[in-house]
Amino acid sequence: MSTMKNLSATRRAQAGKGAARAIRREGRVPAVIYGGGQAPISISLDFKETNRLIYAGHFLTTLFTIDVEGEKIRAIPRDYQLDVVRDFPMHVDFLRLGEGAMVKVEVPVHVVGQEASPGLKAGGALNLVHHSLEFMVPAEHIPDHIDIDVSKAKIGDSIHVSAIKLPEGAKLISHEKDVTIATIVPTGGSKDEA
């Protein structure tokens, strides 16, 4: 599960392109917190901390408690923009969350049990059809990744969405039907199964 992280921010008096440029010159990243039936709040974040969080991974699925000059706001990043040349953060959008809020997140798929898979041992190849899945999940239960087990998969076997253990309270939204997530396919040098 994704853990709650703390982030410190200062309120911005002005919004717009000119104000954002001035914030960046001060070594900060402009950001906005919106949603929750309240007015958007323009804030600025520390550049180094924001850069570290973005490049550490799982940024868009991490829940934050943002301290805006003493006011604690629970939020999740919805989007961020990077400079096209230098790859540093230009802006971050946060979605304000209430208690028990459901959020839409895209979670990466991790394959486990490859070393025990009879199909892979026989020379088959793993074909990962979907590298991530999209869920509606309670904000407190956002997973870092979804594991699919191929330890019993033989050549020609498929792993479907129905075989995956979903996080508590999660509802899959990226695929309506029982679609294939991964298959074990034969390669030119695999041994035939009879």
> For position 94, which CATH number holds?
2.40.240.10
89 and 40 inside one domain: yes
Indicate if the pLDDT at residue 1 is higher than 80. no
Q: What's the pLDDT score for residue 31?
A: 93
123 and 155 inside one domain: yes
Are 40 and 32 a contacting pair, CB within 8 Å? yes
> Tell me, what amino acid is at 150?
V
Are 33 and 40 a contacting pair, CB within 8 Å? yes
pLDDT band at residue 194, thresholds of 50, 70 and 90? Answer: very low
The arithmetic mean of pLDDT across residues 110-119, rounded, is: 89
The parent domain of residue 149 ranges over 103-185
* 52 falls within a domain: yes
The CA-CA-CA angle for residues 165, 166, 172, to 5°, reads 130
Indicate if the pLDDT at residue 133 is higher than 60. yes
* 68 falls within a domain: yes
38 and 93 inside one domain: yes
* 76 falls within a domain: yes
Count of the separate structural domains present in the chain: 2
77 and 12 inside one domain: yes
CA-CA distance, 132 to 142, in Å (whole number)? 14
69 and 112 inside one domain: no
CA-CA distance, 145 to 53, in Å (whole number)? 17
Locate all alpha helices (DSSP H) within the chain, ordered by sequence: 17-25, 47-55, 118-121
Among the listed residues 128, 143, 145, 132, the one whose alpha carbon sits nearest the alpha carbon of residue 180: 128
188 or 120, greater pLDDT: 120
pLDDT band at residue 190, thresholds of 50, 70 and 90? Answer: very low
The arithmetic mean of pLDDT across residues 67-77, rounded, is: 90
Indicate if the pLDDT at residue 73 is higher than 80. yes
Write down which residue in 98, 119, 150 finishes a domain: 98
* 192 falls within a domain: no
CA-CA distance, 69 to 154, in Å (whole number)? 57
41 and 66 inside one domain: yes
Indicate if the pLDDT at residue 173 is higher than 70. yes
Are 67 and 6 a contacting pair, CB within 8 Å? yes
What number of residues does the chain have? 194
Query: What average pLDDT is seen over the chain?
Result: 86
Side-by-side strand order, sheet with 171-172 = 146-149, 102-112, 132-138, 171-172
Write down which residue in 98, 116, 136 finishes a domain: 98
